[in-house]
Amino acid sequence: MLSVKWQNGVLVESEGFSMVLDPIKRVESADFAFISHAHMDHTHAFTDSSKIKYSTKETAALYEAVADRKTKNVVSCAYGQSLSVHDMRLKVVNSGHVFGSAALLLSSGDVTFFYTGDFNFADSLTQNAICPEECDILVIETTYGRPDFVFPNREDVYDQIVQWAASTIMHGETPCFLVYPVGKAQELTRLFNLFTPIPVVTHPSVTRANGIVNAFGGDLAYYDLADAGEDIVKSGNCVCLFPTSLNSRAIKMVYPRARVATVTGWGLAFGKRNADANFVLSSHADYLQLLTFVKECRPKKVYTMHGYSEIFSNKLKRMGFDSTPLEL
Using CB under 5 A, list all residues that contact Zn ion: 39, 118
Closer residue to Zn ion (CB): 10 or 233: 10
- Closest separation between CB of residue 180 and Zn ion, Å? 8
- Closest separation between CB of residue 128 and Zn ion, Å? 16
**Is the CA virtual torsion 234, 239, 243, 245 positive or negative?**
positive
Residue 11 makes CB contacts below 8 A (sequence gap 6+) with: 4, 5, 18, 19, 20, 21, 27, 29, 30
Closer residue to Zn ion (CB): 175 or 181: 181
Angstrom CA distances, 149 to 221, 250, 288, stand at: 32, 29, 8
Strand order of the β-sheet with 102-108 is 82-85, 88-94, 102-108, 111-115, 137-141, 301-305, 323-325
Closer residue to Zn ion (CB): 19 or 35: 35
- Closest separation between CB of residue 295 and Zn ion, Å? 23
Taking every pair of C-alpha atoms in the chain, what is the biggest distance, in angstroms? Answer: 65
CA atoms within 13 A on the CB side of 278: 17
Helix residue ranges, H only, 154-280: 154-170, 184-195, 204-215, 229-235, 248-254, 267-270
Closer residue to Zn ion (CB): 106 or 285: 285
- Closest separation between CB of residue 170 and Zn ion, Å? 34
- Closest separation between CB of residue 322 and Zn ion, Å? 27
Closer residue to Zn ion (CB): 99 or 223: 99
- Closest separation between CB of residue 254 and Zn ion, Å? 28
CA–CA separation, 309 and 146 (whole Å): 9
Helix, strand, or coil (residue 138): strand
- Closest separation between CB of residue 253 and Zn ion, Å? 29
Closer residue to Zn ion (CB): 39 or 53: 39
